[in-house]
Chains A and B, each alone.
Chain A
Amino acid sequence: MASLKTIRSTAQYLVIFIGIGFFALPIYASTIFAFQSSDGSFSIEPLRKAGENEELMESLLLTLNIAAGTVILTLLLLVPTVAYIHLVIPHARGWIEFLTLTPLVIPPIVQGVGYLYSMPTQLKATPYALIFAYVILALPFSYRSLDAAFASLDIRTLYDASTSLGANFITVMRKVLIPNVLPGIYSAVFLTIALVLGEFAYASLLLWDTFPTVLAVAGMSGASTAVALSVLSLVGVWLLLNAITLLSKPTKQVARS
Chain B
Amino acid sequence: MALFLGLPLVTIVRFSFLNSQNEFTLNNFTTITSGIYRDAFILSFELSALSATLSLIFGFFFAFALVHSNLKFLQQAVSTASGVLANTGGVPLAFMFIAVLGTYGTLTGWLKGAGINLYGGGWTIYSFTGLLIVYLYFQVPLMVLIFLPVVSNIKKEWAEAAQSLGASQLTYWRKVLLPILTPQLLALFLLLFANSFAAYATAAALTSGSLALVPVQIASLIASNVQVDGANTAMALGLGMVICVGLSTIGYALLEKRSSRWRA
Binary per-residue interface labels of chain B (1-20) against chain A in the complex, 1 for a CB within 8 Å, 0 otherwise: 10011011111100100000
By secondary structure, the A interface counts as helix
A200 touches B91 (CB 8 A): yes
**Per-position contact with B for A89-105: 1 when CB-CB < 8 Å, else 0?**
00000100011011111
Contact of B90 among A23, A136, A200, A220 (CB under 8 A): A200
Inter-chain contacts of A200 with B (CB < 8 A):
90-91, 200-201, 204-205
Closest to A28 in B: B106
List the B side residues contacting A204 at CB < 8 Å: 204, 219
CA distance A111 to B200 in the complex (A): 12
Counting CB contacts under 8 A, is A231 at the interface?
A: yes
Interface contact B84-A237, CB-CB below 8 Å: yes
Shortest Cβ distance from B243 into A: residue: A105
Q: Point out the residues of chain A lying under 8 angstroms from B58, CB to CB.
A: 19, 22
- One digit per residue, 1 when the CB lies within 8 angstroms of any chain B CB and 0 when it does not, for chain A 159-202 equals 00000000000000000000000000000001100110111110
Contacting pair A113 B83 (CB below 8 A): no
Total residues of chain B contacting the partner, CB 8 A: 73
Most buried by A among B8, B84, B140: B84
* A72 interface residue per 8 A CB criterion: no
Residue B258 interfacial (CB < 8 Å):
no
**Considering the chains assembled together, what is the distance between the CA atoms of A13 and B64 in angstroms?**
11
The answer, yes or no, to whether A61 is at the interface (CB within 8 Å) is no
* Contact call B96/A27, Cβ cutoff below 8 A: yes
Is there contact, CB below 8 Å, between B66 and A190?
A: no
Interface residues on A, range: 35 or more
Tell me the A110-165 residues at the B interface (CB within 8 Å): 110-111, 113-119, 132-133, 136, 139, 141
Find residues 215-252 in chain A having any chain B CB closer than 8 Å to their own CB: 215-216, 219-220, 223-224, 226-227, 229-231, 233-234, 237-238, 241-242, 245
Residue B97 lies at the interface, judged by CB distance under 8 Å to chain A: yes
- The answer to whether A197 touches B107, judged by C-beta atoms less than 8 angstroms apart, is no
Instruction: Identify the A interface with B (CB < 8 A).
Output: 11-13, 15-16, 19-20, 22-23, 25-27, 29-30, 32-34, 94, 98-99, 101-111, 113-119, 132-133, 136, 139, 141, 190-191, 194-195, 197-201, 204-205, 212, 215-216, 219-220, 223-224, 226-227, 229-231, 233-234, 237-238, 241-242, 245
**Smallest CB-CB A-B distances: 8 pairs:** A114-B8, A200-B201, A107-B198, A230-B92, A198-B88, A33-B99, A194-B87, A110-B238
